[in-house]
Chains A and B, each alone.
Chain A
Amino acid sequence: MSVDVLINNVTKRYGDFTAIEDMSFKINKGEFFTLLGPSGCGKTTLLRMIAGFNTIEGGDILFDTTNINKLPAHKRDIGMVFQNYAIFPHLSTYDNVAYGLKARKVPKDEAHKRIMDALKVVQIEQLKDRMPHELSGGQQQRVALARAIVIEPKILLMDEPLSNLDAKLRVQMRSTIKKLQSKLGITTIYVTHDQEEALAISDRIAVMNLGKVMQIGSPDEVYRRPSNDFVADFIGTSNFLEGKIISSENGSMIIDVMDYQFTVQFDKNHQGDVLLSVRPEHFFFSEESKGIKGEIILSTFLGDFINYEIQLPNGDILEVNEYTEKVGKIRNNGPVTLQINEKSVSIFTRDGKERLVR
């Protein structure tokens, strides 16, 4: 039942403003695919184009091999979960879930069975006769989910479905959704601006900014191998440092950062200035004199690790994490020397647009 979704050179304009610019990618059958990006980057716009609520100004959207550009929204056979649930306030839980089956003229007996199954899957069968105003946010979310899956859609779309829940419930619903999706195997497109949520839930993530895709990859890839400074900055925490290529030959180059020099393997040949992005856990404190000189100005104990703010001579602040297990005690404020784990560092061209290392 599930389908591939092809986005081919898709463009969306609101007057002069281009909300989605010439976007192309493919979402695979049964995949949990997330659109991640800051607010206003065009995630909802793209999702609503797939759902059929927005017109498509350029390009094509295909489900498997069928072009759906002109197919009206109510004929697309897509399940959708809305940010504010959009439960019909005048219908009971049961009738909310029944709504899509009635539209499809599913015979009563079969409909009843499917509705009860769907309610069971999301664990709210005991709430079937409640009216929406008698349900909590989390329960409404489950109704919305049941209503979307009961029609056995080709694709499931979710627009920030967890953003109205409190933190604890959010984590709980996240795993409910993830398990449900992998059980049903429905191609799912999920929208969020929360990078942690995206990393936790997705098979693949498209990181978006200003109407363009910045990178597509698995959570591991986008976290460890960001393809530009935007992704590095948006996902997780990154320290940005300016550096210079001193020499490059035979696929390895020597980088100089504030007189600290180290060697990395590179992918693309490049000369001159570069931008480095280093995760807090990819620094380590060194007893050698070689390294970046700085001064601890604040240490924060966070349980399994300790977070240090380190001020550099030029005034910049670096964030460095050190596992508690590894050292056992919190370092005192004062001068330190930092080295970089060169296998994990991301190196970009100076403008941050292109990744130079693997």
Chain B
Amino acid sequence: MTRFLPKRLDFWFFAKIVIFSLFGFFLIYPFVNMFIRGFTSTDGTFSLAYFQRFAEYKYYYQTLFRSLSVAVSTTFFAMLVGMPMAYAMSRYNLIGKRVINIMIIMSLMSPPFIGAYSWILLLGRSGVITKFFVGLGINMPSIYGYLGIILVFTLKLFPYIYLYVSGALGSIDSSLEEAAENLGSNKLRRLMTITFPVILPTILSGAIMVFMSALADFGTPMLIGEGYKVLPVLVYEEYMSEIGGNAGMASALSMIVIMVSMFVLLMQKRFVAKRKYTMSALRPPQIIKLRVIPKIVLSCLAFIVSLVAFLPQIVVVYTSFVKTSGPVFVAGYSLDSYRTIFYRLARNITNTFTFSTIAMFFIIIIGILVAYLMVRRPSKSSTVLDVFVMFPYVVPSAIMGISLLLAFNRRPLLLAGTSFIMIVAYAIRKMPYTVRSASAILQQIDPSIEDASINLGVSPIKTFFTVTSRLMLPGIISGAILSWISTINELGSSVMLYTGRTATISVAIYTEVIRNSFGTAAALASILTVATILSFIIFALISKGKVSVI
């Protein structure tokens, strides 16, 4: 019997068991359950009917092609914007780099779908800019549908490319490019034959982030897509129309989305693993000093791009102070929108911050333990744990919400509709940020520091809590803030899991926009934006300017 137990029956063994049980119960079981439902017909027998239906009807399968098309186009345009931005910002002496940089990061961190919402206000049927051009007798192309989705996604997601590529460009040792120059390469040749191939894996990682986000997001296409239905929207609608049914179609569709994401991620892993150049720039590349005119032109261009990306947040905050009369904005300013939300939607605000705080608590505790197990106790089971923790990262959060609902909507496991299930969804979905950041810092901590403490008479477990976690703190906090920012802005799983009592700010924004109550939506979105910016400032202070949000 004792043969089956590990040699060390210590705290970490029990921690591992507890964490495995939690992930097993709240992640693996729901997904396995969903998987089974995708293959089970209404009479409870095995069936491929849902997948057949998917393949047969254009209504279904075209959403997959649309999703892929949106994701591919978004990735393409994000690279088109992100790479030159990164190159210009890291190689030339542009003016106002800090401001540009902050605007870009902020647009990445912005609440989801406020991009869609703001662009509707600007370019929609009764948008400010549209009306302006109509007044001039010019008809604007419609923002609704494919074009709008791509526009919003590109502006929101190009920062991934920008951040990844700037990071890589900054870590190329300048001697590498100098060597190429020395061997007689001209600038363009050098860029194409040395710089580009070296940073290719990084570009690819950024592209994958863009691709996956574009594939998974459902708020934006829901608002701005109108007739152009993409896969996540279809999943949502199928689920909503099947409530009470067995949700087989929604499950099958979810499996398809997950399979696409996993496939893309595996491809990237294979490709990147093969050509990974580790570099630490001994001599970082030199900043090229441009002459005045080119410098001003290039700075303006970069500024405009980042401003356009940041625009939705300005629009949201601005419109939150504009007077409204029912669904329309009228002349003049007021705080009415805020009055309304504090009167009518105060609960959503407290929900968002309460749930996120509690989720944060669990994320930090479990995140530290998981990071420690992965870094200091590597084993097969730790690797499995790693996969469990990172899995939610590739699952669109709406789908995660559905899986939890399907798993816990019946006695004896009736958790649907509770705050608890929302907190669980947040904790699992947003854990990866904290785990990554905590393990990164733990890897920097010399294990003999822990040994020294034990050697001096402090028990291993007390050493972990007083020394190790104390030293991990900066990494944990910055990871936790990223988790936090992402949690307060979370829409997908919230929309699936909320009930009247547990609705959050993002759910309220969503429903207010659907009800054409733009003023209150703007006020709510402003609250999120401000909370996000504040959290981000704290994050930047804690990470001492070494900001890495990717």
Residues of chain A having any CB pair with chain B under 8 Å: 51-53, 55, 72-80, 82-84, 86-90, 99-100, 103-104, 147, 151
Q: Are the CB atoms of A86 and B456 closer together than 8 Å?
A: no
Say whether A100 contacts B457, CB under 8 Å.
yes
Further pairs besides A74-B458, A76-B455: 17, Cβ < 8 Å: A52-B454, A72-B460, A74-B454, A74-B460, A77-B457, A84-B446, A86-B446, A86-B451, A87-B452, A89-B449, A90-B470, A90-B471, A99-B456, A99-B458, A100-B456, A103-B456, A103-B458
CB-CB contacts below 8 Å: B448-501 with A: 448-449, 451-460, 463, 467, 470-471
CA distance A225 to B452 in the complex (A): 38
On whether the beta carbons of B7 and A55 are closer than 8 Å, the reply is yes
Residue from A52, A72, A75, A86 within 8 A of B452 (CB atoms): A86
Q: A103-B458, A151-B456 are in contact. Are A89 and B471 (CB under 8 A)?
A: yes
Collect the chain A residues with CB atoms within 8 Å of residue B454's CB: 52-53, 73-74
Chain A positions within 8 Å of B7 at CB level: 55
When A55-B7, A151-B457 are in contact, do A83 and B449 touch as well, CB less than 8 Å? no
Q: When the two chains form their complex, are residues A80 and B455 in contact, meaning their CB atoms are under 8 A apart?
A: yes
CB-CB under 8 A from B453, the residues of chain A are: 88, 99
Distance in angstroms from B9 CB to nearest chain A CB is 13
Name the residue on A nearest B447 (C-beta): A86
For window 1-15 of B, CB contacts with A under 8 Å fall at 7
Complex A-B: 5 CB contacts under 8 Å: A52-B454, A74-B455, A77-B457, A86-B446, A100-B457
Q: Which residue of A lies closest to B445 (CB)?
A: A89
User: Could you tell me the distance between the alpha carbons of A82 and B450 in the complex, rounded to whole angstroms?
Assistant: 11
Report B's interface with A, CB cutoff 8 A: 7, 446, 448-449, 451-460, 463, 467, 470-471
Q: B459 and A147: CB pair below 8 A?
A: no
Instruction: List the 10 closest A-B pairs by CB distance, nearest first.
Output: A100-B456, A103-B457, A86-B452, A86-B448, A82-B448, A80-B455, A86-B449, A103-B458, A74-B454, A73-B454
Q: What are the residues of chain A within 8 A of B457 when measuring CB–CB?
A: 74-75, 77, 100, 103-104, 151
Chain B residues within an 8 Å CB radius of A79: 455
The answer to whether A82 and B470 have CB atoms under 8 Å apart is: no
Closest A residue by C-beta to B455: A80
Query: Which B-chain residue is minimally distant from A104 (CB atoms)?
Result: B457
Residues of A within 8 A of B455 (CB): 51, 73-74, 76, 78-80
Do B449 and A72 have beta carbons less than 8 Å apart? no
Residues of A with C-beta under 8 A to B471:
89-90
Contact B452 A82 (CB under 8 A): yes
Q: Which residue of B lies closest to A80 (CB)?
A: B455
Of all chain A residues, the one with the shortest Cβ separation from B470 is: A90
For the complex, what is the distance from the CA of A84 to the CA of B451, rounded to whole Å? 12
> Would you give the shortest CB distance from B458 to chain A, in whole angstroms?
5
- The residue that B467 contacts in the complex, of A53, A74, A88, with Cβ under 8 A, is A88
The CA-CA distance from A55 to B8 in the complex, in Å, is 10
Give the shortest distance, in Å, between B469 (CB) and chain A (any CB).
11
Would you give the shortest CB distance from B385 to chain A, in whole angstroms?
Answer: 22
Q: How far is the CA of A160 from the CA of B500 in the complex (A)?
A: 65
Distance between Cα atoms of A55 and B7 in the complex (Å): 10
Q: Which residues of B contact A83 (CB under 8 A)?
A: 448
B542 CB to closest chain A CB (Å) equals 15
Query: Whole-angstrom distance between the alpha carbons of A76 and B446 in the complex?
Result: 22
Smallest CB–CB gap between A189 and chain B, Å? 13
Tell me whether A74 and B452 are in contact (CB under 8 A): no
Cβ B451 vs Cβ A82 within 8 A: yes
What chain B residues lie within 8 Å of A99 (beta carbons)? 453, 456, 458
A79 to B452, CA, bound (A): 9
Chain A residues in 8 Å Cβ range of B463 = 74
Among residues of B, the one whose C-beta sits closest to the C-beta of A73 is B454
Q: Determine if A53 and B456 form an interchain contact, defined as CB atoms under 8 angstroms apart.
A: no
Q: Is the CB of B459 within 8 A of A74?
A: yes
B458 engages A80 (CB within 8 Å): no
A290–chain B nearest beta-carbon distance, Å:
58
Assess the B448–A147 pair: CB atoms within 8 A: no
Q: How long is the Cα–Cα vector from A267 to B467 in the complex, in angstroms?
A: 57
The docked-state distance in angstroms from the alpha carbon of A53 to that of B453 is 12
Query: CA of A79 to CA of B537 in the docked complex: distance in angstroms?
Result: 44
State A82–B456 Cα separation when bound (angstroms): 12
Which A residues are in CB contact (< 8 Å) with B452? 80, 82, 86-88, 147
* Distance, CA A51 to CA B456, complexed state (A): 11
CB nearest to B461 among chain A residues:
A74
What is the CA–CA distance of A205 and B448 in the complex, to the nearest angstrom? 25
Chain B: minimal CB distance from A159 (Å): 9
Residues from chain A with a CB closer than 8 A to the CB of B460 are 72-74
For residue B7, give the distance in angstroms from its CB to the closest CB of chain A: 7
Among B7, B451, B456, B470, chain A packs the most CB atoms within 10 A around the CB of B456
Residues of A within 8 A of B451 (CB): 51, 53, 73, 80, 82, 86
The complex places the Cα of A88 from the Cα of B454 at a distance, in Å, of 12
Which residue of chain B has the shortest Cβ distance to A159 in the bound complex? B448
Q: Chain A residues near B467 (CB, 8 Å)?
A: 88
Cα–Cα, bound, A87→B452 (Å): 8
Which partner residue on chain A sits nearest B7 by CB separation? A55
A105 nearest CB neighbor, chain B only = B457
User: Could you tell me the distance between the alpha carbons of A51 and B453 in the complex, rounded to whole angstroms?
Assistant: 12
User: Which residues of chain B come closer than 8 Å to A86, judged between CB atoms?
Assistant: 446, 448-449, 451-452
CB neighbours (8 Å) of A78 from chain B are 455
Closest to B456 in A: A100
Cα A53 to Cα B455 in complex, Å, equals 9
Give Cα A200–Cα B452 distance, bound, in whole angstroms: 27
Q: Residue of B at shortest CB range from A98?
A: B456
Question: Given the complex of chains A and B, what is the CA–CA distance between A77 and B457 in angstroms?
Answer: 7
Taking the closest CB of chain A, its distance from the CB of B313, in whole angstroms, is: 38
Shortest CB-to-CB span from A163 to chain B, Å, is 13
A87, B206: Cα distance in complex, Å = 38
Complex Cα spacing A100 to B457, Å = 6
By the criterion CB–CB under 8 Å, are B448 and A84 in contact?
Answer: yes
Q: How far is the CA of A73 from the CA of B451 in the complex (A)?
A: 9
Which residue of B has the minimal Cβ distance to A81?
B452
- Minimum distance in angstroms from A224 CB to a CB of chain B: 36
Chain A min CB distance to B534 (Å): 27
A75–B454 alpha-carbon span in the complex (Å):
9
Expressed in whole angstroms, the Cα–Cα distance for A79 and B457 within the complex equals 10
Of the listed residues B449, B452, B458, the one surrounded by the most CB atoms of chain A closer than 10 A to its CB is B452
Which chain B residue has the least Cβ–Cβ distance from A48? Answer: B451
Alpha-carbon separation in the docked complex, A329 to B457 (Å): 61
Closest chain-B Cβ to A152's Cβ sits at a distance in Å of 12
Q: B449–A88 contact, CB under 8 A?
A: yes
A83 to B452, CA, bound (A): 11
**Which residue of chain A has the shortest Cβ distance to B463 in the bound complex?**
A74
A80 neighbours in B (Cβ, 8 Å): 451-452, 455
Q: Which residues of B contact A84 (CB under 8 A)?
A: 446, 448
> Nearest-CB distance from B85 to chain A (Å)?
36
* Complex alpha-carbon distance, A80 and B467, angstroms: 17
A83 CA to B463 CA, complexed, in Å: 20
- How many angstroms between the C-alpha atoms of A109 and B455 in the bound complex? 23
Instruction: Note all chain A residues with C-beta closer than 8 A to B459.
Output: 72, 74
In the assembled complex, the Cα of A86 lies from the Cα of B460 at a distance in Å of 16
Q: State the Cβ distance, B468 to closest chain A Cβ, in Å.
A: 11
Does B456 contact A147, Cβ atoms closer than 8 Å?
Answer: yes
Chain B residues, Cβ within 8 Å of A147 = 452, 456
CA of A37 to CA of B4, assembled, Å: 38
